[in-house]
């Protein structure tokens, strides 16, 4: 997303100008989180499932190259063409070449956060290829010319009235029409035409099975299936971390994924793709784009366990009140804040600080990623690498000097309290970001240390 140089705090500030909207955003996502809670409490084995999933993924990450080779060999044996892309650029070029070879200029896509990460749509548009996103939420943000604000609920930031306006503008519905049933039916008709006429379909991959060379795509709308089944060529793009060793492991992940994401027991469509049907071509693009670098960062390796359920976003009190776009990255929220600095420390140095470290994300994560601990660790790395603002550096130095010396600390504390009592305007002013929203504590006459000296011993 192009937000210029704006950081999370500034973008969140803009989002918070409309408090009613923040309330609505927060409550919508909280409702989903509550639904998730009810749904996971139906499974007494929930915590065991999480532990199992985390261990399976740990195995995958520890033996990634072996599983990748196994997957490639199996997929090839199934008649699938396998491509490798080192980065976003290579990925986009491969997809572009495959489309061009078909002599077409249009493609239908089902939701894939990897293609968002690689900015595929923009790249293809520049090369004269039109992409229609077939996931309803994605289609809506595409019409609005915005990136998704959530990895599972791409247009969760949009109200139904705004969607009605977009449909009115682009799909010819009557104005002021916001009935979800009506809008969904309109989208259905609009997309049906697309499915029937596109020769190339691209899908994401939720899980790829090393043992069999197959992959599984989960959608609630069946749009991936419609695109892939009707097209002559199916391109599936996946990050290299999407592998699981065996088919039997799917049972663990499919149970975790949707309960965590939306509170549903299982996704409506979990479609297995193994080999191209006769006359069809099937391609898989395996994308690295920074993943092997992250694998090499011991403290952050676990982030590659992510199955993109979005639960950490729904539960994150900061995400709910700052909106997905404030993270200026394809993957928002807590997990995005760990993944993004891996790709570009300078650009995303703000994100690990966009958290209170409350830890709810780590508890909710179905694969037990230590998200909030990684946020803490990224902060240390970013400061060491020199990405801390100068003002903050100076402030921290002053604080350290004060706290390192009991004498200075006591004097400074006393002075501070006197100033606050006698000259409150010195702290209660617009330059004090605390005071902008909150009153300062009333300073007591004596500190506990002073009281103790008088009253004990």
Partner 1 sequence: MRVGLFIPCYVDQFYPNAAIATLQLLEKLGCEVVYPQNQTCCGQPMANSGFEHLTHGCNELFIKNFDGFDYIVAPSGSCVLHVREHLHDEHDEAKAVDIRHKVYELTTFLTDILKVESLPARFPHKVGMHQSCHGQRGLKLSSMSELVAPAFSKPGSLLAMVKDIELIELNRVDECCGFGGTFCVAEEAVSSKMGKDRVADHLQHGAEYITGVDMSCLMHMEGILKRQGSNVKVMHIAEILNGVEN
222 binds, among partner 1, ligand SF4, none (CB under 5 to 8 A by kind): none
Number of residues binding to ligand SF4, judged by CB under 6 A: 15
Q: Does residue 155 bind ligand SF4 (CB under 6 A)?
A: no
Residue closer to partner 1 (CB basis): 175 or 422: 422
Residue choice 21, 35, 158, 321 for contact with partner 1 (CB under 8 A): 321
Interacting span for partner 1 (CB under 8 A) from 14-22, 152-160, 168-176, 227-235: 14-22
Determine the Cα–Cα distance for residues 105 and 400; give it in Å rounded to an integer. Answer: 61
Q: How far is the CB of 223 from partner 1 (least distance, A)?
A: 31
Question: Footprint of ligand SF4 on residues 246-285 (CB under 6 A)?
Answer: 260
Q: How far is the CB of 28 from ligand SF4 (least distance, A)?
A: 18
Q: Does residue 145 bind partner 1 (CB under 8 A)?
A: no
Residue closer to partner 1 (CB basis): 273 or 319: 319
Residue choice 197, 246, 356, 411 for contact with partner 1 (CB under 8 A): 356
Yes or no: say if 22 and 16 are a contact pair by the CB < 8 Å rule. yes
Residue choice 58, 84, 182, 376 for contact with partner 1 (CB under 8 A): 376
> 84-115 as b/e, with b when 16 or more CB fall inside 10 Å?
ebeebebbbebbbebbeeeebebbbbbbbbbb
Q: Does residue 384 bind partner 1 (CB under 8 A)?
A: yes
Q: Does residue 355 bind partner 1 (CB under 8 A)?
A: yes
Residue closer to ligand SF4 (CB basis): 95 or 257: 257
Q: Does residue 244 bind ligand SF4 (CB under 6 A)?
A: no
Q: How far is the CB of 261 from ligand SF4 (least distance, A)?
A: 8
Q: How far is the CB of 5 from partner 1 (least distance, A)?
A: 17
- The two three-digit tokens of residue 268, written as one number: 């409506």
Q: How far is the CB of 310 from ligand SF4 (least distance, A)?
A: 5
Q: Does residue 346 bind partner 1 (CB under 8 A)?
A: no
In the stretch 302-341, what mask flags binding to ligand SF4 with x, by CB under 6 A?
----xxxxxxx----------------------x------
379 binds, among partner 1, ligand SF4, none (CB under 5 to 8 A by kind): partner 1
Q: How far is the CB of 294 from ligand SF4 (least distance, A)?
A: 13
Interacting span for partner 1 (CB under 8 A) from 110-118, 136-144, 247-255, 353-361: 353-361
Q: Does residue 424 bind partner 1 (CB under 8 A)?
A: no
- The two three-digit tokens of residue 295, written as one number: 């694998």
What strands, in cross-sheet order, belong to the sheet with 269-273? 243-244, 207-209, 214-219, 269-273
Residue closer to ligand SF4 (CB basis): 50 or 119: 50
Determine the Cα–Cα distance for residues 60 and 238; give it in Å rounded to an integer. Answer: 15
Q: Which of 356, 286, 296, 269 is nearest to 320 (CA)?
A: 356
Interacting span for ligand SF4 (CB under 6 A) from 22-30, 76-84, 185-193, 363-371: 363-371
State the residues that interact with ligand SF4 by CB under 6 A. 260, 306-312, 335, 364-367, 369, 371
């Amino acid at each position: 997303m192009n937000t210029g140089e704006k950081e999370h705090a500034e973008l969140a500030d803009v989002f918070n100008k409309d408090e009613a909207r923040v309330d609505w955003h927060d409550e919508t996502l909280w409702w989903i989180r509550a639904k998730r809670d009810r749904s996971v409490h139906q499974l007494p084995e929930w915590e065991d499932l999480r532990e199992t999933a985390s261990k399976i993924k740990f195995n995958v990450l520890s033996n990634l190259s072996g599983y990748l080779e196994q997957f490639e060999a199996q997929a090839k044996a199934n008649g699938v063409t396998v491509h490798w892309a080192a980065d976003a650029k290579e990925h986009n070029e491969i997809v572009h070449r495959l489309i061009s070879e078909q002599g077409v200029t249009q493609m239908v896509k089902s939701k894939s956060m990897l293609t968002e990460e690689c900015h595929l749509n923009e790249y293809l548009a520049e090369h004269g290829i039109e992409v229609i996103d077939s996931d309803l939420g994605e289609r809506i943000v595409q019409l609005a010319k915005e990136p998704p604000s959530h990895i599972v609920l791409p247009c969760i930031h949009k109200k139904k009235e705004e969607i009605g306006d977009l449909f009115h503008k682009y799909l010819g519905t009557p104005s002021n029409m916001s009935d979800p049933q009506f809008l969904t039916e309109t989208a259905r008709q609009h997309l049906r035409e697309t499915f029937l006429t596109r020769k190339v379909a691209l899908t994401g991959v939720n899980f790829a099975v090393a043992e069999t060379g197959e992959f599984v795509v989960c959608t609630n709308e069946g749009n991936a299936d419609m695109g892939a089944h009707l097209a002559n060529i199916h391109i599936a793009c996946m990050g290299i971390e999407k592998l699981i060793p065996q088919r039997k492991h799917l049972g663990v992940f499919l149970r975790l994924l949707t309960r965590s994401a939306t509170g549903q027991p299982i996704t409506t469509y979990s479609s297995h793709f193994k080999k191209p049907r006769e006359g069809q071509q099937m391609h898989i693009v395996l994308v690295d784009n920074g993943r092997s670098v992250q694998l090499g960062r011991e403290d952050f390796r676990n982030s590659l366990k992510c199955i993109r359920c979005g639960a950490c976003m729904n539960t994150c009190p900061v995400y709910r009140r700052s909106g997905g776009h404030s993270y200026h990255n394809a993957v928002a929220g807590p997990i995005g804040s760990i993944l993004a600095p891996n790709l570009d420390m300078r650009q995303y140095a703000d994100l690990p600080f966009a958290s209170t470290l409350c830890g709810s994300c780590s508890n909710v994560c179905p694969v037990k990623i230590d998200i909030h601990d990684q946020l803490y660790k990224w902060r240390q790395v970013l400061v060491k690498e020199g990405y801390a603002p100068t003002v903050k550096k100076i402030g921290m130095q002053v604080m350290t000097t004060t706290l390192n010396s009991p004498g200075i600390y006591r004097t400074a504390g006393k002075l501070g309290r006197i100033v606050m009592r006698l000259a409150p305007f010195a702290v209660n002013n617009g330059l004090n970001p605390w005071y902008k929203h909150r009153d300062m504590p009333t300073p007591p006459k004596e500190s506990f240390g002073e009281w103790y000296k008088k009253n004990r011993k």
